[in-house]
Each structure stands twice: as C-alpha cells, then as structure tokens.
Structure 1
Amino acid sequence: MISVLLPVRDAAAHLPACLDSLLAQTLADFEIVAVDDGSTDQGRTLALLQAYAARDARVRVQAAEHQGIASALNLAASQARGRYLARMDGDDVCHPERFALQAAALDASPELDAVGCLVRYGGDPQACGGYARHVDWLNTLRNHGQMRLGVFRDAPLAHPSAMFRTSSFHRLGGYRQGPFPEDYELWLRWLEAGARLGKVAETLLTWNDPPLRLSRTDPRYGQDSFHRLKAEYLARWLARHNQHHPVVWVVGAGRVTRRRVEHLQAHGIRVQAYLDIDPRKIGNHVGGIPVMHHRDLPPAGEAFVLSYVSNPGAPELIADFLNSRGYRQGLDYLQAG
C-alpha cells in the first residue's frame, strides 16, 4: 500500500530510531525505499541501511552519488511500488499509527492529493524558539482552506509528515532541484495547480531539529531564497485573486519587509503604501512609497493588504485588526511573512 521515500546522508547517528519507528507501524503493508545520497561517513550510513534490509525485506536500499535531496527523493519515487508515497527523514521518528491513520484519511477522501499530520517539535524550544513557534503555527492549519492560504506564510505541512497519492505525485510533478527549498517549492507548485491537502488531527511525527539539519546549513533554505521563491508564486496568485491588481498595501515598513517586497516588485507588483505603527516612520517615504498609520487603511473593498510582519504574536494581532475593519482573509488580505 505505502512506499516510504527515505533520503539519507551521513545519518547513522539518528537512523536506528527512525527505522525502528517505521518498522513498528501497525499497518504493515509498506516498503521503505532508502537512498543513501553519497554519504561521506566511511560507509556507516550505507552499512546500517543494509543491515536493516538484511533483517526485513521491506527495506530496499539504493546507494547513489551525491546529487542532493531532490534527486534522491525522485530516485526513490521512481522505484516505489506503493499506492501511496510517505515522506520520512532519517532524523525523525513517527508514531506507530501514522501510516494507518494517514492511509485511512486518503482512502476516505479521494479528492485529497496529500495528507499530513500534527507534529511534535523535537528540539530545544528555548534555544530554538523560531522553529518551535513554527511548529505551533503549523499545527493550527487543519484543513485545505487554511493550508491553501497559509502556504504564502510558510510550508503548510511538515515535509517528513506528508503522505501523497502516487498518482498525484506523477500528475503534479515530483521534486525540482534549484536554488530554493525543494519541499516548499513542491507545495507552492501543487497548490497552484489545484492540489488539495488534508491533515490528520493527531500528533504522529516527532520533527527533530539537529544542528546539521539541511534547513540550518544549506543556503537554498535561507530567508532570501525562501522569499524569492515565494514572490514568484505569490505574484501569480495576486494576479488571479486581487481585484486591485497589481496594487497592494503592505503592513510593515521595516528593512526586512522592504527586502521581501523587492522580490514581489520584480514581478510587477506595485505598493500603494506601507502601513506601520512606528511614529518615526509614519509620514516618511521609502523608495518613493508613503508610510501611513495603519488606522488610515482604506475601507474594506478598496484595497488589498499584504502583511510581512512575523514577530511573535504580530500576525494574529494584524489579522484581528483587519478582520475588525471588514477585511476578509484570501479576499482582501493575505499574510505572507
């Protein structure tokens, strides 16, 4: 029923816990297609995979030259035999009921192309508060509508928690290699093409946060790469949904917001004004664009607002303010920070 796509590189320290959690699944009809993406640890990762394969025929191992995670995932998918494809990373651990519950969700809802689940943050929430807050936010997205709009804030599903229909993967396209995070690009592209996402409202994966995690060490996962990619898809979304296109009003006039807006401007989006609460900024012009007090926002229906403010608690306060002014998320405003 299920093929697990498991790309690994220099993962020997964490792999036993990952593989043990997969082999303990209550739904036993699965295979693990593990691709060693050119590990450099004197063969330890590959030997560990081969030892598991020798004990359990459901583990299939492919040794490959280092091409990156996108290529490793596509190689695994090309060899998969399951009706569903489940993602997993070598440093994460899943709950024994994960496959049973996600497969049941796909069986029950044929309109869904992929489902995720709630995840538990497996790092130090004090030392790495940003990741912990991301997981908290991620777990608030429970249905397709929330994830469809949430994708412009960040990836709406934890990648290793996802399970796809194999037919959807081939219809919508696999992973792309480029100067961007491959998982976020997949969600943006799939949702733009009309894919429907779901989420099992149970915590079925521990999403660990080791210091050498790719999102911490690879420049493709850096903020500039992330927002450049986002701007491409967001600009096309605005062209279809913003009745005032190409004009937007932007919440926040700080340097970080302006850098992100520059990526949008490269796609023809025009900023009417920045909205802020800092009296030192209000009344000024930034790049020829006025900075106005947020209370001077036009009535609902006369503007489309983008918010790039992502300080803890700020997105919720901004949404409350816009909602109180009659603005509707997805129709009159969008959070993109």
Structure 2
Amino acid sequence: MNYSVLMAVYAKENPQFLKASIESMLAQTIPTDDFVIVKDGPLPACLEEVLQIYHDHLHLISLARNVGLGPALGIGLASCKHELVARMDSDDLSRPQRIAKQLAVFAQQPECVLCGGYIEEFIEEPGDLGLVKKVPIETKDIFNFIKRRNPFNHVTVMFKKNTIIQAGNYQSFYFNEDYELWIRVLSSHPQVTNLAECLCDVRVGNGMFERRGGWKYLKYDYALQKKLLNLGMTSPLEMSMNVALRSAVRLMPSSFRKHVYTHFLRQNQGKKTITD
C-alpha cells in the first residue's frame, strides 16, 4: 500500500530539527516514494542545505512568498500522488512503526478516511517530559470530542486525499488550520479513528502557554464554535458553554494558564497524560 508524506517548512525553522524530522520519515519500516515538502516562501541557506542532503528522496515545491501553513499544505496536498497521505511537521519525530500501524488500519477498515494517534511531548530529547497527549479512539467519541477540543494530533494523521479535497482542503485559520478542517470533514459523518498509542514525539517550548492566549486566539475559538453550530454539530447551549470556558483560559495570565493546563495531568502507566 503506497502513501505520500506532506510537510511544509518556512524560514524560521531550525535546520537540525528539520533534518531529524525528515530522517524519522525516511526511517519508517514502510518507506514512501512520494515525500512532498512545500517551501513556504524563501528559505535561508541553512535550511536549503538540509533539503539538498535529501534531495533525491524529496518532492520539493517552492512558493515565491510565505502564505501560511494552511494554504501551503493545501498546495502540497494537491501534488501528492497517492490517495493515502501522512502529515508530518518539520520539527517533530515520527516513531519507526508509525506508518506501518496506520496503513494496517486502512487495510483493515476500508471505510476509514482519517487515522491519528497519541503524541509524547519533549523539550530536548524524546521522553524527557513523559507527557502524553491522548485523543479519543472511536468515531462516536471523536464526534463528541470535536465539539469542545481538537480530536486529532495533527502531526500524527494519515488521511485519504480525496476526502480532504472534497471537504475544501486546508485553509488559512489562525493556529487551528487542522481543527477547522476536521470540522468540515466530520460534518459528513465519515468513519475516523485514532490509535491508542504514541505515533510521534513532539517538541514543546517554554512559550507554549503564552502562545495559547490572547484576544486573537479567542476570536478564532469563537469562529470554530460558530462553524460547529452552523453545521449542526453542536447546540447553542454547548456553544455558549465552550466559548465561556475558552474565554476564561485564553484571557487569563500565562502563569495561570499553565496551571490550568497542568491541572489536567494525570498518571497513566508511569507517565503523565494531558488532554488539550
């Protein structure tokens, strides 16, 4: 079963992180023959040098200017040659068996259109935090979860290209390109799933909690809730409750926001688990 890999990179990426990310995909037990990387605007020499190292393994698409993650991924997806497409971020790591496990899901569940999984967050080296971000597994639970939060870890997803294209493809949506896309995809009630295991190791920085606050973020939270309501995927009461909760979290000082997020940590098989 063939598949494509879809990644976007822009000027501020770390070249060492990019190198490690590419290598984690090339090291998959089932390799790809279509690794699409969209250069979202001009890149500095240090990033171009990394891409040149793996040039023979990559399908590079160059954009004249930076258009943002959503539009860049939309352009890249249109160029993917296989129906199954695995997303990958330019600074994270896929575990070696990730693709094999996801391909097995699509082979066993032909009606499935989207498959993700858990992630483990780290700062310097994988495992140094022991924070696992879980997501719901079953389709019905994913449909309930999407009313409140993003039900997929974006870096882990593999999906059917035609499903994403028919839903309108990736679009620009402030730090929530994926969540907004999943809402459109799930509005037609397809079969989707997550694997109950970590597929990727994801870098987190000290500014994570600061980035998750502010009026602009809240504005797009409201827009997501409004879209859910318009598509009949939530109720006015649920929307009001979710907006109120998001408002409190987005507008509180970052130190308090960090406390709120860590309040949801719980022990699971010796590791802390977080839902976001």
Q: TM-score category by the smaller chain?
A: 0.7 to 0.9
Would you say 1:149 and 2:114 are equivalent positions?
A: no
Of residues 11, 15, 21 in structure 2, which corresponds to 1:18? 21
Structure 2 counterpart SS, 1:113 = strand
Aligned residue pair count: 247
Alpha-carbon RMSD across the aligned residues, in angstroms, is 3.5
**Shift of the alpha carbon at 1:195?**
2.9
Q: Which has the higher contact order (CA 8 A, sep 6+)?
A: 2
**Shift of the alpha carbon at 1:192?**
1.6
**TM-score scaled by structure 2?**
0.76
Deviation per CA, 1:214-242: give whole Å up to 9, x if none: x96599995303421232133236x5775
Deviation per CA, 1:158-192: give whole Å up to 9, x if none: 10100001221222221112446211101111112
Which position in structure 2 is the counterpart of 1:59? 58
Distance 2:101 2:57 in 1: 20
Distance 2:240 2:204 in 1: 33
Which position in structure 1 is the counterpart of 2:80? 80
Distance 1:159 1:220 in 2: 22
Which position in structure 2 is the counterpart of 1:209? 204
Aligned pairs for 1:286-301 within 5 A: none
Deviation per CA, 1:130-171: give whole Å up to 9, x if none: xx5xx53xx151111111111122111110100001221222
Identity %: 24
Aligned pairs for 1:307-326 within 5 A: 312-313=263-264
Q: Is the 8 A contact 2:74 2:169 kept in 1?
A: yes
Detail structure 1 runs of 4+ shifted over 4 Å in the superposition: 215-222, 239-242, 246-252
Distance 2:145 2:153 in 1: 13
Go from structure 1 to structure 2 and tell me whether the alpha carbon gap of 1:105 and 1:247 turns closer, same or farther (over 3 Å shift): closer
Which position in structure 1 is the counterpart of 2:4? 3
The runs of 5 or more residues in structure 2 that have no matched partner are 249-259, 266-275
Distance 1:58 1:143 in 2: 35
The runs of 5 or more residues in structure 1 that have no matched partner are 261-308, 315-336
**Shift of the alpha carbon at 1:259?**
4.6
Go from structure 1 to structure 2 and tell me whether the alpha carbon gap of 1:14 and 1:175 turns closer, same or farther (over 3 Å shift): same
Distance 2:110 2:246 in 1: 42
Q: Which amino acid aligns with 2:111?
A: E
Q: From the CA coordinates, give the structure whose radius of gyration is larger.
A: 1
